Structure 1
Amino acid sequence: MDAHIRTLLTVICEAALEKKLVVDLEQLGAPGWTISDARGRGGRGVRSAGWDTEGNIRVEIICTRDIAERIAGHLQARYYANYAMVCYLAQVEVLRAEKF
């Protein structure tokens, strides 16, 4: 098995941002992403996934560290002040490096 190091950027945010985030990710060079519904509680209270735009989503992007940092920096500058959003980075090992 030949594993390669990449970075997993996870973004948890308001579902209303999904279309804007997809445009941002394409423009910032993300090789791909996965979006799923998310529920939970945080600093802005309890969020459910009962309504299309009132719940939360989880966006996961596996990419190089510099792309992950570029995306996270953009999201922080553009959305943190006005939207519920959390971003975190983790080092991961992938088996098909050419995809990321």
Structure 2
Amino acid sequence: MVMTAEEGPAKLVSIVTEAAVETLLLREIEAMGIDGYTIADVRGRGTRGRRSGSWDASASIRVDVVCAPVRAEALALRVKERFAPGYALFIFICDAWVP
């Protein structure tokens, strides 16, 4: 079953984490039946220091998923449980609209 956002209210789940977990993270997302996402290389500074992205070990990614509101919290909780203990991770959920 494909769980993509239909026209109307949706949620944007943005996951910022270490690039090293990209493959594992995408497996988790796809295992939930979500087949659409956007990935971007990102850099910045936060409580865990500066992430320049100029060295593979310090590279970060942002994965954006637009999904039904009911799926957004489940996705965020699953990603938090799986990755927060061992990796830098920031998740935020915003209102979105699918035209």
TM class, shorter-chain normalised?
A: 0.7 to 0.9
1:29-68 CA deviation, whole Å, 9 max, x = no partner?
Answer: 2130000000000111000122345310000000011211
Q: Give the residue type in structure 1 aligned to 2:58.
A: E
CA distance in 2, matches of 1:52, 1:66: 35
Paired residues for 1:1-100 under 5 Å: 4-95=8-99
- Pairwise CA RMSD: 1.2
Whether contact under 8 Å (1:7, 1:62) holds in the other structure is: yes
Q: Which structure 2 residue ranges, 5 or more long, are not aligned?
A: 1-6
TM-score by length of 1: 0.86
Q: Give the residue type in structure 2 aligned to 1:68.
A: A
Pairwise CA distance, 1:27: 0.1
CA distance in 2, matches of 1:21, 1:53: 17
Q: Which structure 1 residue ranges, 5 or more long, are not aligned?
A: 96-100
Q: 2:35 is paired with a residue of what secondary structure?
A: coil
Identity %: 35
Give aligned pairs, total. Answer: 93
The structure 1 segments of at least 4 consecutive aligned residues displaced by more than 6 Å after TM superposition are none
